[in-house]
Amino acid sequence: MFGNLFEEDDEAFMPESAGHDDRKLKGKDCEPPPPRGATNLCGIKNQGGTCYLNSLLQTLLFTPEFREALFNLGPEELGCVENKDKPEANVRVIPLELQKLFAHLLLLDQLAASTTDLTDSFGWSSNEEMSQQDVQELNRILFSALESSLVGTSGSDLIQRLYHGTVVNQIVCKECGNVSEKQEDFLDLTVSVNGVSGLEEALWNMYVEEELFEGNNLYCCGLCNNLVRAAKSAKLRKLPPFLTMSLLRFSFDLTKCERYKEMGRYTFPVRINLRPFCEKAERADSEYEYELFSVIIHKGGCYGGHYHVYVKDIDHLGNWEAPEEEAKPKLLNKDVKPPDSTLEREDPLSVLKDILSREESNCVLVDQLGQKLLDKIGVSWNKKFRKQYGPIGKFLQSHTDTFLLASNGTRVHLKLAGSAAPEPSQSADGEKMVDLSSPSDEHHWFDLNDSIVRPIREKDIEKQFQGKESAYMLFYRKLELQRPAEAKENPRYKVPVHLLQEIEEENGKLTQTRLEFDASSNTVEVRLHLASHYRVENGALQLCSSPQESVLQLPFDRRKTVGDFRLAVYQMQDQWEGDMALTVAKSLPAGLHLYDMLLDDSQSLYSAGVSDRSDLFVWNGREVGGVSIQTGEDWEPVLLTLLKPMEVVEDAAPGSGLCESPRGVSAGTTLGALRLALGREEALLCQEERAQGSPVSGWRVFPQDDMQKTIRELALRDGDSILILEPQALDTSQFTMNGDVVTVTTPSECRWLLVSYSPGGVAGGQEEGKTVQIPATGNMLLSEVKLKAMEELQLQDQLSEYSLRQVDRNGKLLPPARENMSIRQAGVKLTSTLFLCHGSAPGATQLFLFYTVGADPPSGPEMEIIVEETITVKECLKLMLKMSGLEGECWHLRKVDWCYEAGDAITEEEATLAKLKISSGDTLVVTEGRLPPKGFLRLPVWLYPGQGVCTGQPESEINHIAEGVAELCVGILAVDAELQFVGDVEISGEASLEDLKTQVMTLPNLQDLSVPSAEYLRFWVLEGKRPTKILRGNQLHINKLKLGSGTEICVQHLLKEENLGPKELVLRVKMGVPQERLYYPEVELVWDTAKECTARALRQTIASHYCLPLDKIEVAKYFPDKYEWMAVSSWVREVTTWSKIPPCVASQA
């Protein structure tokens, strides 16, 4: 689990070179690491699952005595890392790499340091870097490895001196007083969490309470030589300078036979006096006083989660500032009144504190507490508070910061605020108790969460007392340890000179690299399209010269302004006269189209949206070649295929029934205008409705009402076909009309198939083979086609060795057609070509499958196999392995997804192929490795670049939707925004949404994303690379969210915490500036529809946010799929029937 950290022999000094260069991420190798943040502290990169290691390393770094003792070991004792491969050199790699890492964390100017070299010195593989382990176990193993590595050096006693303590177990005979004791060494104290309220109670049970041997359980005394009554106890004998407490958060439920995590409230003090738990000795109190300086926190459940650490910066190495939420000034309310005594009576905590404070010893029996409460307020606990707070005993246990239960829970004590460190005291009945209170200390606490470092207050530690995110390891430091004055605010203190020199050189290189990268990363290459080389044709700009002459490449700094860029273009085009307009352009199938014009010369290119390889059109802003240009999305050209009967066009291809010609049409053009432009005012325009493989195709005639609709409104897209038919063409046998459907029959001269045969296969080339033409009809069986073709090719004696196959547009052979099917049933088009290939065709109950071996399907050869559809997945896998010459049990099958990559694993190995709906032509991937655990899901995760998921419509795209709604604009999801793939996560379906967010935050590609907690992430479900639904309910199981394996999710980084309820909708609202074509910045509103889900409630929510009267605003929703706006006054259905996508709303004052 931890590589060769278990090894303690000489080989641990010199582990084999792990060759880690191949495992490093290469996506951002060219980008220098960012500098340190405002805290001036360095985080640690997560290698995929090393958050537990990062938390422990940060704790050791902020243990000054450990850090400086490690730095005191020089190269003469540890050797040099460069000599680790020399057999004669005794190089102690682990302490050397730890020194180097600490120096980087202290002095190197980067946001996060890498632990790759350190984990390589451990002998870890990439699997161990990607899997999470237990930090308590790592702490013991790492210290053991360090002790072994430092044998024979001056630091051989480093761990023993700083961390080792002694506990003594005693058994005292009640008859003769004989004491039998056993001394044990400890590295950390493992304390119970189950059944106790906090650390002080757990220590009391371990080192104060005695276990009695009496009754049937007597002790055999060695001195009395008899079974006697005795008492067993344990005490701390020797206390180390640094005391580590490991909390037993994980337990096993014997009833359910499953692990679980203790999430109840468990308190621990910032300062603690351990005298009550130690052997009696004449020592000063200062030797027993400890102060908390590190808390390792685990967030998640028993099957996974995330670690981070709260650390106190003892030497003030970082810049501590108040957290952002506390840095804002709070307004004082002068109208605040003192609390009413009536209100205090409604608070059970105040009532119980008042009762105990009036007692002389501040304690009372729990049984008497209920009667005293009845006497004070006149109502019993059960009638007043039980329904809301539960039994009184449970209430006391949940407030251990105020009350202390003793005598097995029969007596309750009040903890006095501001009391001193714990001292043994006497209660009314002579019972010993400890009161541990923590004095306030607010300075220099930080939360180190992998790469993220943020300041916190000491009181934030209380948030880790309970819940899924709670304390897991506590590190205490003796209060008497003093730091020298020169160590304060001095990260160079005690760092060896050779490391200081290395860091200075690396910082210099980093500074130079950042300057060079800043210049190169801001240089974009813009492609300039010159208007003089274009002409307007069919609604689009077409080249009238070679691309080399018409398109110029101009590198430019995107931080400069549009005016600077315009001046640079002027200098390139010294012959240009008049105004120069720069317009964003995009190359479409129909030609070049123009969108937004760059008008603001003071705006930077970056703010204007100009990126690398952007297209800009250089023109006068009015016309090209004397023709005016329509710009914007509403006028995008669409490339249509126009079909005409072959008699209409003289150069029609022989053998075809129709002649086709491409034509670009502006999306804003009406269908009637297109017909008029074609010069055929009486012609019928038809849209194809054809069944695949049929010789008869159906065309629906556009009704007269559609002549007034635009190409966009008719939802026509690039590649769609339109049949232009003159009325007299209906008199021929080729065209028949029934209602509004025109039927086109394939001419008799087109009823044939080509069958091609090449001995060398399809790739052998047609010149090496033969092609024959076979007369065919749609009802003809493929077996007849094959027989006739082989007779023509004189191959009839090899009939069973060949099959007919089609080829797709990429030249790939499709599965063999089943020969008992007709041409129409097999989906084969007449006049197409079939290839005669070696190999038999699948039978009626057989499947023809493609398969590859390896995790990357495109990189490996594709093989073919015919199997019965009734065999199981396991049997199919064995056949594929046998054909591939592979052996072993560590293989499984995966399906290929839509982008031809290895998709989900097929987990049901005993299911048949037919049951799993695997059909002929499917591609499977034989992947090395065992199947993932049952019930686990594999979810691809995507991220919006720059966290920008919204974009505003251009000002030119103003829609007029109703009288009184003059100008509206809305922020909609950027469908065209390029999503960034960040990785896959495998997680149990029983995990919660919060667990999923926590696991996603550990992905290596998200380490640079500053996310304080999972509540700052919003998860969307992707459909067609478009966010469609927000996942809500952090505590809901993933299975209840109906996420299947392979469901793509998108991560959106929020600026504030969010926990949406089931009835809350996220609205994106953009309000227009009155009387101007400008808009205020877009805002997000959360509308709670649980109260009222009417159109009026929506308008009221928006009006309240903008502080406007309800009758002064108009609201509309934009439907991107229909390109329509709908005013709020026309919304007659309830909000619950809206689309899954949060409504895009615009308002106008």
Q: Quick check: 42 and 110 in contact, CB under 8 A?
A: yes
Compute the CA torsion angle 702, 705, 708, 709 (nearest 10 deg).
Answer: -60
Out of 51, 221, 876, 1050, pick the active-site residue. 51
End-to-end alpha-carbon separation of the chain, Å?
64
Burial class (CB in 10 A: 0-12, 13-18, 19+), 1075: exposed
Out of 104, 306, 529, 593, pick the active-site residue. 306
In the numeric block, which tokens belong to residue 763? Answer: 């790739």
544 an active-site residue? no
Backbone angles phi, psi at 687, to 5 degrees: -110, 135
Q: DSSP secondary structure string, 606-652?
A: TTTT--TT-EEEEE-SSEETTEE---SGGG-EEEEEEEEETTT-TTP
Q: How many CB atoms lie within 10 A of CB 933?
A: 10
In the numeric block, which tokens belong to residue 399? Answer: 């407030």
Amino acid at 205: N
Identify the DSSP state of 97: H
How far does Cα 437 stand from its chain's mean position? Answer: 41
Within 8 A by CB and 6+ apart from 570, the residues are: 576, 580
Q: Report the C-alpha gap between 4 and 2 in whole angstroms.
A: 6
Backbone angles phi, psi at 109, to 5 degrees: -85, 80
- Name the residue among 421, 426, 423 with its Cα closest to residue 413: 426
- DSSP H or E stretch at residue 525: strand 523-530
Helix, strand, or coil (residue 1025)? coil
Q: Report the C-alpha gap between 459 and 373 in whole angstroms.
A: 31
How far does Cα 292 stand from its chain's mean position? Answer: 34
Crossing angle of helices 51-61 and 64-71, in 10° steps, is 80
In the numeric block, which tokens belong to residue 217? Answer: 């359980």
The conformational region for residue 1088 under phi > 0 = left, psi -120 to 50 = alpha, else beta, is: beta
How would you write 4-69 as a 3-class SS string?
HHHCCCHHHHCCCCCCHHHHCCCCCCCCCCCCCCCCCCCEECCCCCCHHHHHHHHHHHCCHHHHHH
Helices (H) and strands (E) in the chain, counts: 24, 60
Q: Could you give the C-alpha distances from 1042 to 303, 933, 985, 1037, 1051, in angstroms and in order?
A: 21, 19, 16, 9, 18
Backbone angles phi, psi at 1125, to 5 degrees: -110, 150
Q: DSSP secondary structure string, 1034-1048?
A: TTSBTTTTTPPTT--
Q: Quick check: 1045 and 902 in contact, CB under 8 A?
A: no
Name the residue with tokens 């690379």.
1025
Name the residue with tokens 């227009």.
1072
Within 8 A by CB and 6+ apart from 173, the residues are: 179, 180, 219, 221, 223, 224, 228, 229, 230
Name the residue with tokens 């350190």.
118
51 an active-site residue? yes
Q: DSSP secondary structure string, 257-321?
A: TEEEE--S--B--SEEE-GGGB------GGGTEEEEEEEEEEEEETTEEEEEEEEE-TT--S---
Positive or negative, the CA dihedral 753, 756, 761, 766 is negative
DSSP E strand boundaries for 693-734: 696-701, 721-725
Backbone angles phi, psi at 699, to 5 degrees: -130, 130
**Which residues are marked as active site?**
51, 306
